[in-house]
Structure 1
Amino acid sequence: MDIEYSEIENRLKAAFGHSTRLVFWEDESSEYADSIEGLKIEGADIVDATGHELATKRTILREQPGKRFVVYRHGGAPNPADDLLLDVKIAARPFSCSMEGVWADECGIPVTLAGMLADHAAFFNSKERRAALAATSLPKSGTQSFLFAMAAATMKAADAEERDAARSMAKKAVLEWARGDEQSMRMLVDAGLSGTFWAAMREHIGYRVGEGDAPNAGDLAFRLLEGMCGPIVQDDMRADDAEASRILGDLARDGRTRDEFDRVVQEYSKAVAALVPQDMRTAETLSEVDAIPEIDEWILSGFAAEVSASSTSSAAMERVRDARKHSLYHYRYGAYYSLLIAITGFRSECARYKKECGSGTGTAQILEKYCSAWHLVDRRYREAHLAFDRVPAGRFKSSMTKAMDELRGAYDLFLVDLTDRWQMHLMDDGAWPPSELPSQSRFFREHVELALPRAERGKRVGVIVSDALRYEAGSDLASRLSASKLKGIAGRAAVKCAYALSAIPSYTQLGMAALLPDGAMEIDPATTYVRKAGAPTWGTANRGKIISARIPGAVALQAKDVMGTKLDLSDAPVAVVYHNVIDKTGDTRDTEGDVFEAVERACAEIEKLVQALIQSGCGKVVITSDHGFIYQSQNPETYAYVDVPGLSQLKSADDVSCDHTRRFVVGKSIPKSESLVEYAAVDLSLEGDYNVAFPKGVTRLRLSGSGSRFVHGGASLQENVVPVITVEAAKGAKASRPTGVEGFVIGRPVVTGPSVSVTVYQSDPCSESVSPQTVKVGVYSKDGALVSATEKTIELASESDDVETRKTRVTMPLIDEVDDCASVVVRISARIGNTNAYESAWEQEYSVNRAFGMDF
């Protein structure tokens, strides 16, 4: 006997429960026949009915009808037709004392199925598996449901529905295969449940094998990856598309299991890719497929060919890029898309410039055109180089080399032409800067003093001066601030970007001085240091003295002292923060090639500085710069330098005050040259007896030891136009808002096939006042359960005014649960602020009638 008396007594006592009067114990092996008399059950008698069926029946039914009995019989039950206790047995609660019976009782399995348990004894050797089987909500009253429940418990699937449990089992099988330890799969074999598992995969997941082939976890992973790709894979053996997308999609988007998903892709993606016909490897066909990296490679290859042939638009590529921004491999291929879009956008902006450049007939007209449109040539040039540098070496990058060389050549021509036009009209209106145009000389008065700053929360004014933040980068920064997710900025600030003309020559000392309160400026030709109203302006301390003299309590700070600290401005009406990332990188010969990365870093840091100032009580933050810059990625050719005889000797003379950089000369006796444009200090609104000269166009002066690709100080729009970005906490000002979103039904609102398609429409182009929006698209039952394979995430970030450009078609494969619904809801949900929560922005009810639309 394997079970102790006390255990039997406890189990018999538990069998009675609250209302049970009779417990029937059929001991077919007679294992307990000699021990029955020793058992004592409180509140119940044990009667041995073996050979005394009628007497037992009379006792329990007539003589003691209210008493509880355990009816025991050994030796095997007679045929039902001959069993005198059959009616009692049916009415009583069955009891078994074999190990199988113990397991059945422990796991909530009907005793009628206890005979099956011996065939699966390996399963019951684990207390954990028995507990899981006992706790499951899966049915286990029938043979097949019981076997399925055991298989689910083995695979640690705790779902209440069979289809959900099958999905969890498939995930477990793939995970263990990817990790190289199929422990659960081996247990299925040992427990005699392997057939049950594979039957479930066939029924619920659509996994099949060919005749004579044995199923295995690796093959399951392969077929699921095929199914995740959908109909583009020409293989009838692929798993169900929707189920595969849900199972592998869950693994891919969970950080805890992404490595295992990548292992599946690494092993099988090439084999799956080989099953996609050549004519289906197009962006139009593949834009919504998100399974293997080859998808992006095919899309990019097609776009690259079109870019090389100049036969595509950036809008078409932006639609695909935005649709794939949240795809599985965007982290790998995002720079590739950005490169193609930037090159195409650059060509488009260059074409616009060539078409419009003749309309610039004066300083104001050229400036307005540059700030409204032409600066985008600079921006696309910067974006193209950023992306090109981020694309790893390989065949794709090599294929883009020619396009990049053409881009650099076109940009050089653009710079030369635009700068010649600018210099031609530079002094049309008299002394620099023109009085009717915004300039640095009026910055402090117009943007700080007239804001009436006070040392109280919401009334303070913050100023960020970022060295060499040129206009195109500032315009880009304004868009980023409008879309910022940082606390204090997101949804709570209005952002505007204007422009101002810098002082000339456009270098740090003069630009920083021009941004200070009113006063006449004078350059020291020997050092190029600047005094304003006689006071020194170099260094944060000197600038702080000038500012606080005009506005008592105002403070001047370095960005490094603000970043990462809790800023206390309790007594300050104005805080001016000096930030130097771009100029510091570009002015160093060894790092000037990293200047575009420095622009990215600067924008990110400025965003955090804005947050810090707003959180410190600034109701208004203004971002500007001392000057801009020119950057040409190739080292300028010989023609880009000008030689001024006597200039180098003049600089080194002891009795002459003269200094020069690559882009300007300041001194009393500047050598005359056809290559220079020279002005007296008074012409540039400067005090002192000296002249300032600039090389014509974008040429450089020779200067040993300095870089030549990044330059400033001269007379060009890139050097002379700086941004003035205003960020106001939204009270009187209107905060930027996310773009709206709508949906359009494609066809009739009826589900008749394996998928549903809908057009997602971005209602407003993104701008300084309209920020991008992240949306999720899915199909749901009336009770909110997801019945599409996944929720598709899309970034709505188009800046295009073209309505069609802002439309994205989304197709969602449906899982079988949709057939249980009379109708479903297609919903577009928009992200709520900077949270991870979403709310419904558009929805449409669809009736379900797949009987006429499904393929049989």
Structure 2
Amino acid sequence: MNLTEIKKSLERQFAREFSQGSVRNIVFWYDEEGVFAGDIDNLELEGVKIIKLYDNNMFAAKLYIEETDTAGNLLVYSPLPRPANKENWLTDTIKYSQTFSADETSLNMLNFKIDSSLRHVVARYKLFFRSSERRKRFEGYQLAPYTEAKIDLGVLSTLSKLPAPNLDHVVRTLLIELAEGETTIYDSIVKLGNIDALWTLIQRAYGYGFAEQSLEKLAIMLLVTHLSHSVNGNLPKEWQTYVSSNSNCFVFVDNFMKNTQVWNAYNKLAGFVADKLNLIERIRKWNIDDIIDCDTFEEFDHSIISRICANISLQAGEYERYRMVIRSRRNRRFYRQFETEYDTLLYACEFLELSLKHAGLPGLTMAKLFKNYIKTYYRLDGSYRHFLLSYDKLAEQDRFMPLFEKVENSYTNWYLNELSMKWCAFLDDETTWQVSGVTSQQGFYEKYVRRFVSNNERLVVIISDGLRYESAVELNAMLNGEQKGTSKLDAILGVIPSYTALGMASLLPHKSIAVTDKADIVIDGISTKGTENREKILKLVKEESVAITYENFMSLTKRQLTEKFSGVKLIYIYHNTIDARGDNAATEHEVFEATEKCFRELAGLVRALRNNISAINILITADHGYIYRRTLLAERDKTPKEDAIGIESKRRFILTKADADIQGTQVFSLNYLTKDKTDIRAIIPRVTNCYKVQGSGSCYVHGGTSLQEVVIPVIKFKSDKNLRRSMSAKKVSLSLTNLSRKITSVITHLTFFQNEPVGEKLLPLRVTAYFADEVGNRISNENIIIAESTSGNPAERTYKEKFTLKDMAYDKAKEYYLILKDEDKLVNREYARIPFVIDLVFGGSIQF
């Protein structure tokens, strides 16, 4: 140690406050080997006089200190060992003075103001304190007043390069190294720290009881202990020796596994331990109920997914049970990793359960079958859409292939076929295209638009090409949940053939619709093809009208929108995302993905209309629906076109004036569209068959009479500008029902209540719940609560959660907090902070 460091250390010592009754500082320095005897004369300390002490001047020095200079700061330096008290004239003086030593341990104790009783602790860290960088980090922890455990923890935390001293984080760092096959930090603890001190702390904190100092055994003990809290079956006998009764093990693993900053590191560690346990083989001996709550290892998710997939593929039933299992996994750690797999299973179960429930597809009349479709049967189309959407995202589809084949076969050969056969049978008895009590698509303007035009109120009509009724149900719910307004859904009967040109024309104002010999659709002598022509037709009923495409509307700035739509009362916006993708052989399998995009675009369009042009009344509808199935049509399901001469010919229809009797078809006159009689007829294959035509692409089709094609949605959205603020969507609320705010056990159960069922304007709430101390340090595991029940039964809106506290010292005079955080918020996430008193009857013995 050089003289500069000596000077700094002495200056700090002389800068200390005077002891009680003192007016100065006196420091004795016995340099027993005389290392600094030649340098002492060069030492300059401001305001301090240096006295040299030898064997022959002790009495003189005492007189000088006690009689001559009684007010000044003094450094008494001796190049000799300190004499025994009985032989030392200055013993009494030393008792009320300070001592200084230039050995490393003494200087370190002096620098950090560590009590002399801890000298043996500081002495074992000589190498550690030789680095200025390490000393700086250690000092920054502000560990005073020091204890042996605090010093040990400070050294370990410094070597682990932690921002704050924390044993959990030290252990976590070492375990991450273990999983990655590294030993850098552990080696530095062996070299610069004290490995025995590390394992002493580990034993005290986690109950580690093995004689061997093994990180591998520690990792196994921690994760097996965590697993023991959730597995319903017995652990293997050879694992039970690794189970610790210390609650810190469970809390440590829980906080580690749910920390997003070390997400991948935990995956590696869990994988490492799973391999050591040969977990894959052991899981096979548990049944699904034994592992339904297990969250420690991803192997449990693999097993649950495989079992559910196999069982429902083999028609095991119990679909609602499996749906409950899948839903219960959503608040588990690995759910996000397997979300696609779980969604695929969830929608398969939903579809198959609906298939059983509606096996007969009852509907005694055409009107009743139509009503049943819009009430319940549409859900089969929706669950099939979601199933395929998830299935297509799977990284590995092979193990799901039997399930895919089961769902596809049921949807195509049972649902589509049976429903269409029943519907076609009713059509055989009808003389015109209509359903009793249901508005026809060509009556859209009269029912939904005319009153706004007559009252000179602004109305926006959005027509989304190919938006099916089942998809519109979902969009309607989104608008109710996200938008500031109210949204309601109607269903009307689409035109046939159910294709774009005729569907778009039917939504325009008209007295009659004519189809020319060239298949052009004409209203009042104006072709309905193209946005410009449609605007001309709108202006016949309202001069202040605009027709525009979605792309053109969204490309305008707010100023341009204001200028273009100022004074405009009737706006038709044409949107084409679903049909553009589906009606193309190269992209038809992306139609369900396009539907998700359609939802986002239409929700954004509604917001833009509301915010940028102050639109209040908005209608969203479609020109037609469609049929989609993943498997290609078999030859037996394709209808020969014969030699029928048509003015328009597609896969699902032929428009013709000729008399044609094609087997397996139904013929409909287009007289229902116009007051003027026409000899044009639509010839449509029965059920879901298509005509044989050249070219690829027959999975996505429309133009026929199936309910999927002709049940047309009409969403009526009204902005909240004229509504009460209370009509805006908000999340359900969650309350803690336990009356006591005192915890007396390391393990405690709390009950939460979802105050309202999820509904039209009440959205689900997802929160994380955990306990923390006054400064925000987590002291328990974390639970995820998903409040999403739609039930009116209070018992079904109750959530009981288990909390495990860390085994540490708690002060019953202080408050601790149950923290609830809204998972969906980016800022201001804290949902509730509920104070608790913790007064443990047992436990709470670990202190640092």
TM, length-normalised to structure 2:
0.86
Instruction: Establish whether residue 700 from structure 1 lines up as the match of residue 701 from structure 2.
Output: no
Return the offset for 1:395.
6.3
- Which runs of structure 2 are paired with 1:340-379 in the superposition (5 Å)? 340-354=345-359, 357-358=361-362, 360-379=363-382
Any conservation in 2 of the 1:346–1:380 contact (CA below 8 Å)? yes
- Which runs of structure 2 are paired with 1:340-739 in the superposition (5 Å)? 340-354=345-359, 357-358=361-362, 360-393=363-396, 396-401=399-404, 403-404=406-407, 408-409=409-410, 411-426=412-427, 431-434=432-435, 436-444=437-445, 446-448=447-449, 450-451=451-452, 461-484=459-482, 489=483, 492-526=484-518, 528-547=519-538, 550-552=541-543, 554-561=545-552, 566=557, 568-571=560-563, 572=565, 573=568, 574-616=570-612, 617-647=614-644, 650-651=645-646, 658-685=647-674, 688-733=678-723, 734-739=727-732
How many residues end up aligned between the 2 structures? 821
Report the Cα distance in structure 2 between the residues aligned to 1:758 and 1:314, rounded to whole angstroms: 30
1:851 corresponding residue in structure 2? 842
Any conservation in 1 of the 2:100–2:106 contact (CA below 8 Å)? yes
Report the Cα distance in structure 2 between the residues aligned to 1:280 and 1:555, rounded to whole angstroms: 68
Q: 1:463 to 1:710 in 2, by over 3 A?
A: same
Return the offset for 1:123.
1.4
Instruction: Establish whether residue 172 from structure 1 lines up as the match of residue 173 from structure 2.
Output: yes
Return the offset for 1:627.
0.7
Q: 1:289 to 1:584 in 2, by over 3 A?
A: same
Aligned residue for 2:296, secondary structure, equals coil
Report the Cα distance in structure 1 between the residues aligned to 2:288 and 2:545, rounded to whole angstroms: 56
Once structures 1 and 2 are overlaid, which stretch shifts more, 336-345 or 142-151?
A: 142-151
Report the Cα distance in structure 1 between the residues aligned to 2:43 and 2:635, rounded to whole angstroms: 110
Q: 1:593 to 1:802 in 2, by over 3 A?
A: farther
Any conservation in 2 of the 1:57–1:85 contact (CA below 8 Å)? yes
Instruction: Establish whether residue 777 from structure 1 lines up as the match of residue 772 from structure 2.
Output: no
Report the Cα distance in structure 2 between the residues aligned to 1:12 and 1:247, rounded to whole angstroms: 44
2:21 corresponding residue in structure 1? none
Once structures 1 and 2 are overlaid, which stretch shifts more, 446-455 or 781-790?
A: 446-455
Instruction: Establish whether residue 27 from structure 1 lines up as the match of residue 18 from structure 2.
Output: no
2:191 corresponding residue in structure 1? 190
Aligned residue for 1:851, secondary structure, equals coil
Any conservation in 2 of the 1:495–1:735 contact (CA below 8 Å)? no
Counterpart among 329, 332, 336 of residue 334 in structure 2? 329
Consecutive unaligned residues in structure 1, runs of 5 or more: 652-657
Return the offset for 1:314.
4.5
Any conservation in 1 of the 2:550–2:575 contact (CA below 8 Å)? yes
2:263 corresponding residue in structure 1? 258
Aligned residue for 1:61, secondary structure, equals helix
Report the Cα distance in structure 2 between the residues aligned to 1:273 and 1:480, rounded to whole angstroms: 46
Q: 1:64 to 1:462 in 2, by over 3 A?
A: farther
Any conservation in 2 of the 1:759–1:809 contact (CA below 8 Å)? yes
Q: Identity across aligned pairs (percent)?
A: 23
Q: 1:473 to 1:822 in 2, by over 3 A?
A: farther
Return the offset for 1:721.
0.9
- Which runs of structure 2 are paired with 1:132-171 in the superposition (5 Å)? 132-139=137-144, 141-159=146-164, 165-171=166-172
Report the Cα distance in structure 2 between the residues aligned to 1:668 and 1:44, rounded to whole angstroms: 119
Return the offset for 1:644.
4.8
Once structures 1 and 2 are overlaid, which stretch shifts more, 822-831 or 730-739?
A: 822-831
Report the Cα distance in structure 2 between the residues aligned to 1:495 and 1:850, rounded to whole angstroms: 55
- 2:29 alignment partner AA: W
Any conservation in 2 of the 1:581–1:601 contact (CA below 8 Å)? yes
- 1:73 alignment partner AA: S
Return the offset for 1:134.
1.6
- 1:77 alignment partner AA: R
Consecutive unaligned residues in structure 2, runs of 5 or more: 19-23
Q: 1:279 to 1:632 in 2, by over 3 A?
A: closer
Any conservation in 2 of the 1:280–1:286 contact (CA below 8 Å)? no
Once structures 1 and 2 are overlaid, which stretch shifts more, 550-559 or 601-610?
A: 550-559
Report the Cα distance in structure 1 between the residues aligned to 2:778 and 2:150, rounded to whole angstroms: 25
- Provide the alpha-carbon RMSD of the alignment: 3.8
Superposed CA deviations along residues 143-168 of structure 1, whole A, max 9, x for unmatched, are 453333222222223436xxxx1012
Any conservation in 2 of the 1:408–1:633 contact (CA below 8 Å)? no
Return the offset for 1:382.
1.9
Any conservation in 2 of the 1:432–1:684 contact (CA below 8 Å)? no
Report the Cα distance in structure 2 between the residues aligned to 1:576 and 1:168, rounded to whole angstroms: 60
Q: 1:420 to 1:168 in 2, by over 3 A?
A: same
TM, length-normalised to structure 1:
0.85
Report the Cα distance in structure 1 between the residues aligned to 2:823 and 2:267, rounded to whole angstroms: 31
Counterpart among 121, 125, 133 of residue 128 in structure 1? 133
Q: 1:158 to 1:37 in 2, by over 3 A?
A: same
Any conservation in 2 of the 1:827–1:840 contact (CA below 8 Å)? no
Once structures 1 and 2 are overlaid, which stretch shifts more, 47-56 or 130-139?
A: 47-56
Report the Cα distance in structure 2 between the residues aligned to 1:90 and 1:361, rounded to whole angstroms: 108
Instruction: Establish whether residue 56 from structure 1 lines up as the match of residue 61 from structure 2.
Output: yes
Return the offset for 1:525.
4.7
Aligned residue for 1:325, secondary structure, equals helix
Return the offset for 1:225.
3.5
- 1:374 alignment partner AA: Y
Aligned residue for 2:616, secondary structure, equals strand
1:75 corresponding residue in structure 2? 80
Superposed CA deviations along residues 607-647 of structure 1, whole A, max 9, x for unmatched, are 33333333323334432211111122222334422335332
Report the Cα distance in structure 2 between the residues aligned to 1:470 and 1:78, rounded to whole angstroms: 100
Return the offset for 1:664.
1.8
Aligned residue for 1:726, secondary structure, equals strand
Return the offset for 1:706.
4.8
Report the Cα distance in structure 1 between the residues aligned to 2:455 and 2:169, rounded to whole angstroms: 61
Instruction: Establish whether residue 793 from structure 1 lines up as the match of residue 796 from structure 2.
Output: no
- 1:786 alignment partner AA: R
Any conservation in 1 of the 2:772–2:819 contact (CA below 8 Å)? no
Any conservation in 2 of the 1:287–1:320 contact (CA below 8 Å)? yes
Return the offset for 1:719.
0.6
